[in-house]
Chain A
Amino acid sequence: MTTSNFRPMQRRDFLRKLAITTGGITVGGSLLAACGGGSSTTSDGLSIGTPQNPIKLPVSTDPIADGLANESGTLEILNWADYMNPESIAAFETKFGVKISTSIYDTEEAAVAKLRNGTFKPDVILGMTDTGLAKLIAADILQPLNKSYIPNFGNVISGLRNPYYDLESQYTVPYFLYGNGIGYRTDVIDKSAFAQNGYEVLWDTKYKGRLAVLDSYRDTLAMAIFRNGGNDANSSDPDEIKKAGEALIEMREAVNPKVDILGYQEIPAGNRDIQFLWSGDMFTAVQYLPEGVDPGVLGFWYPETTVTKNDFMCITKAAKSPVLAHQLINFLSDTDNALLNREYVGYQPALETITVDMLLASETIPESLVDALVTPEKYEIGLAQVTLEPEVDALWLEQWTAFTAG
């Protein structure tokens, strides 16, 4: 549940806004799905890996055999909007002589629901996170990977080759990395403001009406917890959660923030000065700068205490082209292909072979945004976000409602 609206990838504003309407349709869809009735699973809950308690996921089938031939025809992928470079898709199609057909999801919850009821039947899923993974495993939707098809797995950053959410990477290969932080206009705010005041800058009345936070209750409430001096992104302490909610209300009274995921457009367009957002948004923002504006106006503060995350690629059990599916994962984990993919997506591939120096040398990243890059060190100290117990989740939602209800 942590990832509602969480993906800022909808680069085309228009598409994103269309998603609002499809959201309306999803309401009906999920009610209908609920009418199916067969979905109720009684259990003690999800088995969730955390950095403290990493998890080896259960395996109910064998991976595909070694050395199989590639299938022909069409490879179905399920992905966020604009989360793969069309040029990369074309390159894969040419290389393997197949077609890629893409379905789009806009919330992880909806994607999992539609995978369960069979609306989506992709071979490969891109961009899932650990919270979605736990549900996909519970619903027995994924197949284990055969790494002999994915030699490029060795390129993955070392911290993610044996991730806590999927020990031994049985099901997943990391896709992109990002961290939560603050994007801002360098022509309005000086970098030193953050060195002095940190998160407190978001409460500064100077930016009233020019400020936003993420429309993601887990991310934004966690930020408020950090601002209050805490360091638990998955806090179950009612008092700490309540104080975080109060801090957001205080912010609302002081600066009337917007709550959305549009910082990647609004900051470059000059409509707002500062937003709490995902680091990758700022790279996307570069492409939204009006012509002639120096990319140096875009800045990012990477807090010391913050959430870092990654998403990943995985293959469904029902995949019609499992070998091709492995090939796609391998293809996207290749250094050059990942760089090409990044040029369009903006986010940072989770590959060790793609270093900060390499990205700077590519001259697609302005100096002012170097801080938005997730180095392996930053990833190491970043805090993980895991699925909350329902009772705890309810506490978070209660505070979020209190904040958003205005």
Chain B
Amino acid sequence: MRRAPRLWTLFALPGTTWLIALFAIPFYAVACVAFGTIDPIFRDAVPQWNPMSWDFTQASQTLASLTSGPLRGVAIRTVVYVFCAMVISFTIGFPIAYFLARHSGKRKLLFLALIIVPFWVNYLMRMLAWVNLLSSDGLFTRFMRLFGVNYNWLDGSPITVVLGLVYGYVPFLILPLYATLERLDWRLIDAARDLGANSRQAFRLVTMPMSKAGLVAAGILIALPMFGDYYTNDLLSRSPSTEMLGNQIDFFLNASSQPQNGALLVIVLSIFLLVLMSFYLRSTRQQARQTTR
């Protein structure tokens, strides 16, 4: 028994190694690029490995652009788009997950498979399919015209980008949410009903609080990739009026002579997401405390 603690530490080794090799070191490398210099000949990044000689001039310019320059609009737009996409995702995803967990009965597996199967198809293929469906003579556009909706979906429209994000990530919301709801103790709801709550009250006062951790987890799970997404925008819009942070990172790293800017935006975005993550961790801890109480 005395050896047990060491054994458990050993169990953490693969995970720790993974985290160091594939997160800590790369993240440090990103910082070294962000605060490094540019090769005068090849115009690519020369990372500065020694933090003592990090150069913050370019970074402060980019930060200034984020707070008061052209990148500010991009940052705000990114947050707004992701927020809208999340609201829609929840509106669509929660009822589905709820239905799956509560009412799908014997066909649960079938429904689950039906939701997952389309997502076996590569993301790009699905987006390219949408490009066809949404083009001016595409099926979807023509279908909507039947209802008098004559909209140029691929016209650099924010609606299309937000819906593209929703479409791309909503299954990743449904699955964890389903997992949480599935494990709910439904007897508690019956108890609530017995004690006089109507179904709406039972949902609000019992179901919602109990599924909060799942909601936050699922929300974070889709928010993280949405914030960094650039190819949904690239495929469905390509207009400056819908430019997101991911697009700017892509441009700076892949097609400009200022990769440090891209690296810095990666760091800024990571810090922002870290704040979101800590919110999640705090709320799950609270949840754990409540359930153990």
Contacts and interface: CB of A to CB of B under 8 A. Distances in A.
A39 B71 CA distance: 30
A44 B156 contact: no
Given A271-B135, A406-B240, A30 B259 contact: yes
B254 A401 contact: no
Interface in B23-64: 26, 29-30, 32-33, 36, 38-47, 49
B135 A269 contact: yes
A256 B242 CA distance: 10
Contact of B128 (A17, A35, A113): A17
Secondary structure call for the A interface: helix
A115 to B, nearest CB: 11
Given A31-B33, A113-B42, A390-B43, A1 B257 contact: yes
Given A1-B256, A209-B155, A256-B241, A45 B41 contact: yes
B198 interface: no
B73 A406 contact: yes
Given A27-B254, A30-B253, A31-B33, A258 B248 contact: no
A405 B33 contact: no
Interface in A18-47: 18, 20-21, 23-24, 26-27, 30-31, 33-35, 37, 39-46
Given A109-B255, A401-B248, A41 B40 contact: yes
Given A1-B256, A252-B241, A116 B29 contact: no
B197 interface: no
A69 B25 CA distance: 50
Given A269-B135, A390-B43, A18 B240 contact: no
Interface in A348-406: 390, 393-394, 397, 401-406
Given A256-B155, A401-B70, A40 B39 contact: yes
A45 B40 contact: yes
A406 B77 contact: yes
B29 A35 contact: yes
Contacts of A113: 42, 44
B27 to A, nearest CB: 11
B239 A406 contact: yes
Which of B243, B248, B255 has the largest number of chain A CB atoms within 10 A?
B255
Nearest to A394: B258
B169 to A, nearest CB: 16
A234 to B, nearest CB: 14
Interface string A37-66: 101111111100000000000000000000
Interface string B222-239: 000000000100110111
Contacts of A201: none
B250 interface: yes
Nearest to A27: B253
B94 interface: no
B280 interface: no
A4 B255 contact: yes
B136 interface: yes
A59 B26 CA distance: 39
B248 A405 contact: yes
B154 interface: yes
A212 B251 CA distance: 18
Contact of B41 (A4, A5, A138): A138
B44 A39 contact: yes
B71 A401 contact: yes
A138 B251 CA distance: 25
B45 A34 contact: yes
B74 interface: yes
Contacts, number: 160
A34 B154 contact: no
B239 A259 contact: yes
Given A107-B255, A401-B70, A34 B29 contact: yes
Contacts of A217: 256
A44 B256 contact: no
A141 B273 CA distance: 42
B234 A20 contact: yes
Contacts of B16: none
Contacts of A340: none
Contacts of B45: 30-31, 34
B276 to A, nearest CB: 22
Nearest to A6: B255
A259 B238 contact: yes
Contact of A21 (B29, B124, B155, B240): B124
Interface in A228-286: 252, 256-260, 262, 269-271
A41 B42 contact: yes
A20 B234 CA distance: 8
B201 interface: no
A387 to B, nearest CB: 8
A402 B70 contact: yes
Given A42-B40, A252-B241, A405 B71 contact: yes
B44 A34 contact: yes
Contact of B254 (A23, A112, A256): A23
B17 interface: no
Contacts of B26: 31
A277 B73 CA distance: 27
B67 interface: no
Given A257-B239, A406-B243, A20 B71 contact: no
A336 to B, nearest CB: 37
Contacts of B155: 209, 256
A35 B239 CA distance: 34
B29 A405 contact: no
Given A20-B124, A20-B231, A34-B32, 6 more contacts: A1-B43, A23-B254, A24-B250, A401-B251, A405-B240, A405-B243
Top 4 closest pairs, chain A to chain B, by CB: A4-B255, A406-B240, A405-B70, A402-B70
29 contacts: A14-B128, A17-B128, A17-B235, A21-B231, A23-B254, A30-B45, A30-B253, A33-B44, A34-B33, A34-B46, A35-B29, A35-B47, A40-B46, A41-B39, A43-B41, A109-B44, A112-B42, A135-B43, A139-B42, A256-B155, A256-B156, A262-B238, A269-B135, A270-B137, A390-B38, A394-B258, A401-B65, A406-B73, A406-B241
